[in-house]
Amino acid sequence: MIKISQKLKDKLWWLIISVDYDYSRITIADHDLTGDALTLWLEDKQDFKNTLDECLQVDIPVKQFARLIKEEGLNSYDGSRMHHAKNYVYKTRIEINAPIVWYRDDASLAEQQWAREIILRRLLTELIESQTPDTGMLFHKQYYAK
């Protein structure tokens, strides 16, 4: 699970509402990976922003990003290994590298983009499944009267 603050949840809800609940319109305008966090700047594909300051900035802690890479199996592949003592072959997941090292050093540009898109989808999915938006008058009974 990706942990985000209530303030960021509210901003994400407004982004979702602004794209008319068409999640495919939400895109990653830019990204940055530091030692502490993966930063994603989100925007509407149909309303591109001129600067990153106008985009929604989401900071994902590196530990959560690494856990997602591992859970999705992005840094590993299905393969066969020989048991070191009993000399039989078995199928297993073979890790290429530690998740963040894999992302920085081993992943192609396309694989890095897939990892970022997966975290965006996971973030939106968890947001949608975990709560309903508090949108004030938008969902107020009086709004639908008349």
Domain assignment of residue 13, yes or no: yes
Over residues 103-115, the pLDDT tens digits come to 999 999 999 999 9
Domain assignment of residue 66, yes or no: yes
- CA-based nearest residue to 75, from 103, 47, 104, 41: 103
26, 89, 138 from 142: Cα distances, Å: 30, 67, 9
Per-residue pLDDT for 143 more than 70? no
Domain assignment of residue 138, yes or no: yes
Domain assignment of residue 83, yes or no: no
Helix (H) or strand (E) holding 96: none
Over residues 86-109, the pLDDT tens digits come to 889 989 888 999 999 999 999 999
Domain assignment of residue 128, yes or no: yes
Domain assignment of residue 84, yes or no: no
Domain tally for the chain?
1
* Structural domain boundaries enclosing 129: 6-72+109-144
- CA-based nearest residue to 29, from 42, 47, 14: 42
pTM attached to this predicted model: 0.76
Over residues 127-136, the pLDDT tens digits come to 887 765 554 4
